Structure formats: structure tokens, C-alpha cells
Amino acid sequence: MEKENKKKPNPTDVYVGGRIRLRRNMLGMSQEKLGESLGITFQQIQKYEKGTNRVGASRLQAIASILSVPVAFFFEDAPGADGGEHKGLAEDSSTSFVVDFLSSAEGLQLNRAFARISNPKVRRKVIELAKVLADDEEQ
């Protein structure tokens, strides 16, 4: 009964928090470092990233500045956001897939390692390998 009374985070707050986490991880920045830059604790950053605490406008602007992205970055493809454009379902799901992938530890590690490969031929071979491995998993 007590769990039913607990308020669930707003989906937009959860999404914005996920985008904060995504960008912070892409930069290799810790929650503690982001918190220090904002003058708050890493626990507060955790709450923002989970969506349990809402990020105010001025705080979101400061986060955007620290993470070197426009504020709009945190709302791109947000649930329920209708920017007047009607995209196909495939585009929406692929965008969501990319965000989910880059939010995972494995996705970040793979992305960072791949970005360090400077030889275009080696990069193509890695892509071919990934495709072959993915096909093997389906069978």
C-alpha cells in the first residue's frame, strides 16, 4: 500500500536525467566532478540523473554549459515532445536505440575504443566483425 502512494518520477524528468548521464559519461566525467562544478553533491547529480529530482532551468543551463551542449540537447527526442515534425517510427526507435546503447557501459566502452582506431580499413573490419557476430547470435 505504501509503494502505491509513492510518486513516480515524471517521464520527461527521467529522460532529461538520462541525457545528463549520457553526456557526462561521453565526456568521461564523474558525478562528483559535475557536482563540484555546480556546487552541489554527487548525490544530487544521482537524483537528477534518475529523474527523482527535477532540474531547474538555471541549473540545467549551468549543466549544459559545463557539459558543452545546448540546453536543447537534453530534450531531443523526449517522450511526448512534438516539435511539429512527424518522423517515421523507424527513425524514432533508432534514435532511442542509439541513446540506450550509448547510455550503457558497454556502449560507451565500445564507442570510445572505436573512436581511437585511426585506420579506416581497420574500422571497416571492426564493423564487419560486429555484423558477423550479431548474425551468429540470431541463429
Q: Which CATH superfamily is 1-78 part of?
A: lambda repressor-like DNA-binding domains (1.10.260.40)
CA-nearest of 66, 61, 55, 69 to 14 is 55
Cα dihedral 116, 120, 122, 128 sign: positive
Which three three-digit cell numbers place residue 16?
Answer: 532529461
pTM of the model: 0.66
Given a cut of 70, is residue 94 above it in pLDDT?
no
Query: CA-to-CA distance for 39 and 41, rounded, in angstroms?
Result: 7
* pLDDT, tens digit (0-9, with 9 covering 90-100), for 107-124: 878 888 888 889 999 999
Helical axes 105-116 vs 11-26, angle rounded to 10°: 30
